[in-house]
Amino acid sequence: MSQQILNYVDGELKPSKNGTTIDNIDPSIGRVYSTLPASSTEDVNGAVLAAKKALPQWSGLSIEKRSKILHRIADNIEARREELALAESVDNGKPKHLANQIDIPRAAANFRFFASAIVGNSTDANVMEGQAVNYTRRKSIGVVGCISPWNLPLYLFTWKIAPALATGNCVIAKPSELTPMTAFLLSDVCIESGLPAGVLNILHGYGAEVGQAIVEHPEIKAISFTGGTNTGKKLAATAAPMFKKLSLELGGKNPNIIFEDCDFDEMLETTVRSSFTNQGEICLCGSRILVQNTFYDRFCSAFVDRVNKLVVGDPLTEVSMGALISYDHLQKIKYYVALAKEEGGTVLTGGREVRISGRCAEGYFYAPTVIAGLGNGCRFNQEEIFGPIVSIIPFKSEDEAINMANDTTYGLSATIWTSDVKRAHNVAHRLEAGVIWINCWLLRDLRTPFGGMKASGVGREGGDEALRFFTEAQNVCIKL
């Protein structure tokens, strides 16, 4: 019998009120292995009641006590790292070793970071000499909603939940319906860590149903969302007339700008990683590789050689890439490779499904794919694909590289490779992207602002930005 995932409401694990379920597929074998509740508005209403009941005590708890509980959750995630990494790999298709090294440690770090951040946090005071003193109080918002995608399931889920809880809010959270397992296991971690009932409520189900019901609920005062740009638009249209606070982390079409004077070997290794880590299913992956024309041929040949060494296979073994998230996503990748050819592109390597023998024979595997010969303006280079496909485009001058990098509706992240420090800063300052890496990629400090410009989002997460998002500023002025 397949494993049954349950909602976590008012401190208890339970099915959805209507009792219906959704099949959950292991993408590496292409078969159902568990079920999750198909929650609806009724479940959201129940979760909001539980959250409201828990709110006065949780928001009134001393910072030290709240911090202690959140540290305990971090401890218990760390203690269950192997179990959670295996669950993440089975649910998402990503290599287990990647979940073990990145996803799960980062989920624990998210709780630990915000548990510590609230202890060290202070608020502003402004003195009007001889007249008055102002101090700014940062109060919790109340009941907030957190909605996350399938690509880094527990990593992104906890990136929202941890600051929301740390600042004294009660939370209604929904993971992607495609990857509910580690959110379910987190419910258990919270119970064993002594998180009071109703403080965190996790509802499973379809985005268009339970997700939409969370966004529509009048007593959920803020929504932190990570997902696609189109879903973000829909959310904003629902939430804006209700004056909800909104944080939107959306899609990207990130450029890697590579100048001839870079450290070639380091650039090559990192560019392979930034293209294909997690099957290219990371919003920060660089999908447009802009290469200075003076060494374009050398780059293409070295890059393709290196990509050909990547191993695609059973995610429970030591592979470079596992399975794509779903059958539908595999079809989307195939569609975009066909589009690249139609638009005049050449497949330098990949461009095909990968068949794995044995256990994973029915899984959704695709080869890392490199396309060349397409202009920046074509659909392939403009639309977010979110898979193991990159495009290489040559440029002649710094200006041309910057113009191409910015010529997209998105503005999430960018990577610059050069050993000229002046150029590195000048190019960075001219790029329309919220996160810039110079001579590195995915090096993350949780104190820094994280988020995108243009169609990549609204607002920033991380450090003080997250603490500010999940609180209301209230200024108190006292006449002297």
**Of 208, 240, 242, 473, which lies in the binding site for ligand NDP, with binding defined by CB under 6 A?**
208
Q: Which stretch binds ligand NDP (CB under 6 A): 163-171, 306-314, 362-370, 451-459?
A: 451-459
One residue of 77, 235, 290, 427 binding ligand NDP per CB under 6 A: 235
Structure tokens at 279: 């099957």
| Least distance (Å) between residue 412 CB and ligand NDP | 6
Rounded to whole angstroms, the Cα distance separating 472 from 462 reads 17
Three-state helix/strand/coil letters over 271-338? HHHHHHHHHHCCCCCEEEEEEEHHHHHHHHHHHHHHHCCCCECCCCCCCCECCCCCHHHHHHHHHHHH
Residue 178 binds ligand NDP, judged by CB under 6 A: yes
476 contacts ligand NDP (rule: CB under 6 A): no
- Should residue 275 be labelled a site residue for ligand NDP when binding is judged by CB under 6 A? no
- 128-156 CB burial, b ≥16 within 10 A, e <16: eeeeeeeeeebebbbbbbbbbbbbbbbbb
Which of 30, 105, 228, 449 is the binder for ligand NDP (CB under 6 A)?
228
Interaction of residue 226 with ligand NDP, rule CB under 6 A: yes
| String of contacts with ligand NDP for each residue 402-431, x by CB under 6 A | ----------x-------------------
Instruction: Rank residues 38 and 73 by Cβ distance to ligand NDP and give the closer one.
Output: 38
Figure out which of the listed residues 95, 168, 251, 280 binds ligand NDP, where binding follows CB under 6 A.
251
- 29 counts as binding ligand NDP under rule CB under 6 A: no
Contact 257, 433 (CB under 8 A): no
Q: Does 452 bind ligand NDP (CB under 6 A)?
A: yes
* Nearest C-alpha neighbor of 135 from the set 480, 473, 385: 473
The DSSP symbol for 242 reads: G
Total binding residues for ligand NDP by CB under 6 A?
33
Instruction: Rule CB under 6 A: say whether 58 interacts with ligand NDP.
Output: no
Tokens found for residue 14 = 């339970």
Structure tokens at 131: 């007249």
Contacts 24+ apart (CB under 8 A), 194-198: 194/69, 194/72, 195/11, 195/69, 195/73, 195/165, 196/11, 196/54, 196/57, 196/58, 197/10, 197/11, 197/12, 197/50, 197/54, 198/9, 198/10, 198/11, 198/50, 198/51, 198/53, 198/54, 198/170
Which listed range, 59-67, 169-177, 300-308, 424-432, lies at the site for ligand NDP (CB under 6 A)? 169-177
CB of 267 to ligand NDP, least distance (A): 24
By beta-carbon proximity to ligand NDP, the closer residue of 196 and 228 is 228
State the nearest-atom distance from the C-beta of 447 to ligand NDP, in Å.
17
Is residue 440 within the footprint of ligand NDP (CB under 6 A)? no
Half-sphere exposure of 147 (CA within 13 A, CB side): 27
The H or E element that residue 90 is part of is helix 81-92
The DSSP call for residue 360 is G
> Is residue 40 within a helix (H) or strand (E), and if so which, with residue range?
none
322 is a contact residue toward ligand NDP (CB under 6 A)? no
Establish if 174 lies at the interface with ligand NDP (CB under 6 A): yes
Rule CB under 6 A: say whether 215 interacts with ligand NDP: yes
Given a contact cutoff of 8 angstroms between Cβ atoms, the answer to whether 135 and 471 are in contact is no
Q: Which of 7, 28, 169, 176 binds ligand NDP (CB under 6 A)?
A: 176
Q: How far is the CB of 417 from ligand NDP (least distance, A)?
A: 22
Nearer to ligand NDP, 4 or 326 (CB): 326
Instruction: Select from 41-49, 59-67, 245-253, 300-308 the region that touches ligand NDP (CB under 6 A).
Output: 245-253
Chain positions 110 to 149 lying near ligand NDP, rule: CB under 6 A, are 147-149
Give the residue at shortest CB distance from ligand NDP: 207
CA distance 460 to 462: 7
Q: Name residue, tokens 């802009």.
A: 290
Among 384, 385, 415, 433, which residue sits at the site for ligand NDP (rule: CB under 6 A)?
A: 384
Q: Is 291 among the residues that bind ligand NDP (CB under 6 A)?
A: no
**Known catalytic residues?**
249, 283
Closer residue to ligand NDP, CB minimum distance, 37 or 313: 37
What is 134-202 written as a DSSP string?
EEEEEEE-SEEEEE--SSSHHHHHHHHHHHHHHTT-EEEEE--TTS-HHHHHHHHHHHHTTPPTTSEEE
**Residue 227 exposed, middle or buried by CB count within 10 Å (0-12, 13-18, 19+):** buried
Min dist CB 207 to ligand NDP, Å, is: 2
Q: Tell whether residue 163 is a contact of ligand NDP (CB under 6 A).
A: no
Span near ligand NDP by CB under 6 A; candidates 225-233, 258-266, 414-422, 470-478? 225-233
Here the tokens at position 28 are 């590496």
- Binding of residue 465 to ligand NDP (CB under 6 A): no
Token pair, residue 208, equals: 């268009």
Residue 53 phi, psi dihedral angles, 5° rounding: -65, -40
Residues forming contacts to ligand NDP in the complex (CB under 6 A) are 147-151, 156, 174, 176-178, 206-208, 211-212, 215, 226-228, 231, 234-235, 249-252, 283, 384, 386, 412, 452, 456-457
